[in-house]
């Protein structure tokens, strides 16, 4: 990390501020950001992401173990492994950590087969919105 100009102890704060700064750049025509580690005055940059407000992403259970990721994550994409009830418990934890209700925090199941019964089971268990 030192070779890249990052101190190990502050890596999570730096990552959080960089993500927050990127979101400002993607959302505003003249963004500015003033954090402890990332700091810039109003500027202009294009192109902006096509998806509005910006591209969403997320990962599986490690998402729950790392609070900084939960703070700036905008979705969750669990792999289809194990029962729907396990995904539902993880999804509930992710949503609670986000402080978001089901409709505002998208969940996409990765590796889902075209099996209507399995998809309905996930929906009914609450593992997807």
d(CA 105, CA 101): 7
**pLDDT of the residue at 65:** 52
Where does the chain have alpha helices with state H? 11-27, 62-65, 67-72, 84-98, 116-125
Identify whether residues 70 and 118 lie together within a single domain. Answer: yes
Average predicted confidence (pLDDT) for the chain:
74
Grade residue 48 by pLDDT with cuts at 50, 70 and 90: confident
Residue 50 has pLDDT above 50, yes or no: yes
Identify whether residues 44 and 73 lie together within a single domain. Answer: no
Identify whether residues 8 and 35 lie together within a single domain. Answer: yes
Identify whether residues 128 and 66 lie together within a single domain. Answer: yes
Total-model pTM = 0.49
Domain of 13 in residue numbering reads as: 1-54
d(CA 6, CA 9): 9
Identify whether residues 70 and 129 lie together within a single domain. Answer: yes
Q: What is the DSSP letter of 48?
A: P
Identify whether residues 47 and 77 lie together within a single domain. Answer: no
Identify whether residues 65 and 45 lie together within a single domain. Answer: no
Number of structural domains found in the chain: 2
Cβ count near 67 (within 10 Å): 11
Asked if omega into 47 is within 30° of 0 (cis), the reply is: yes
Identify whether residues 87 and 38 lie together within a single domain. Answer: no
- List Cβ neighbours of 23 (8 Å cut-off, separation of 6 or more): 53, 54, 72
**pLDDT of the residue at 71:** 59
Identify whether residues 47 and 103 lie together within a single domain. Answer: no
Q: Pick the residue with more confidence: 116 or 90?
A: 116
Q: Which of 47-51, 80-84, 89-93 has the highest mean pLDDT?
A: 47-51
Identify whether residues 70 and 47 lie together within a single domain. Answer: no
**pLDDT of the residue at 68:** 47
Identify whether residues 36 and 94 lie together within a single domain. Answer: no
**pLDDT of the residue at 54:** 61
Average of per-residue pLDDT across 102-109:
63
């Amino acid at each position: 990390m030192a070779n890249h100009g990052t101190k190990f102890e502050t890596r999570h704060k730096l990552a959080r501020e960089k993500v927050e700064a990127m979101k400002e750049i993607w959302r505003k025509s003249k963004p500015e950001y003033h954090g402890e580690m990332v700091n810039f005055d109003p500027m202009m940059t294009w192109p902006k992401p096509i998806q509005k407000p910006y591209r969403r992403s997320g990962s599986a259970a490690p998402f729950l173990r790392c609070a900084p990721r939960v703070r700036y994550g905008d979705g969750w994409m669990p792999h289809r492994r194990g029962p729907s009830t396990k995904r539902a418990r993880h999804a509930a934890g992710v949503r609670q950590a986000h402080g978001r209700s089901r409709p505002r925090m998208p969940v996409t199941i990765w590796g889902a087969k075209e099996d209507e019964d399995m998809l309905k089971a996930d929906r009914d268990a609450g593992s997807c919105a």
